[in-house]
Structure 1
């Protein structure tokens, strides 16, 4: 019998992003990666996991007892239906799905209906957040392009103190009702920064796009 494996699925959608960074993050978080399956230059919005050159290999490679590691659920996709379908498929196959960011674990081991309900609600929330962030990022990109065209100096504004993962964490904590001070302590950002993100989430996305922060 083959020993369980830990497979990292990595995806980048643009040429300036780095696949290696996702493995480094996973190993720094304590994961021992046996194999990396990666898609480069593939959109998580328009291309389902099963339709990607390497993503579809996961459906053949993963076996009961294996662990699928992703930096966050948006690596699987940025479409609500696709992400939820993929995670539930792997759980039915006996595969454990784990995220590097936030240390989430999804598996099909529990038979308790309340635990199943909580797990499924969390999967749905994470998938919905991934799609919402993709849509907000697209709108922010449009706004950034329009602003750059309107300003011949292409003024970037103040460089944001957060990166993509930091902004996502703030948005997640805001979504569950965490207070400003609590979020600031958890993320290392100032209360003023958290309040600005809360007041203008689209503006926060635009700032990241303008500065090209991943």
Structure 2
């Protein structure tokens, strides 16, 4: 018999599945995608298959362990050779990514199984998200997962919401998905740029 999942595990599974569902609308063969927070590589793996052989995936993390874990996962799962793993902060992605972005994923917080004192920080996250929105191609989209169960995560989420709600709805649509009766559960934003956005 399968062991019953905890409520937190159910939340995580739902979060991941929903993120990928919404982002899939912006992924296609040959597109450019960015994993802004590589972690252990699961989002990177998803993106490599979604963009196909002719697409390109750029994945960023500041921890060497994240690159090692991700590379091992991609090799184990026979991922297409369409990715670049970059040891750098996500707010510096424009130094590596050529042209615009069709789709991007942020999975904020700390490296699962790693040092929990090393987390994404609101200052660099704010800059990365702002620049990612600006670099989205018309019709492109981002998903941003936030983990308010720790102090930096709560602050990060509040700051991002304050920024995202300022975008002009005519050109940028921002949605938020959360469990309203569980304030420490993860939630995520979906940011979609309209086909006729002037930037």
Alignment TM class, shorter chain as reference: 0.3 to 0.5
Q: TM-score, normalised by structure 2?
A: 0.32
**Structure with greater helix share of residues:** 1
Report which structure shows greater RCO (CA 8 Å, sep ≥6).
Answer: 2
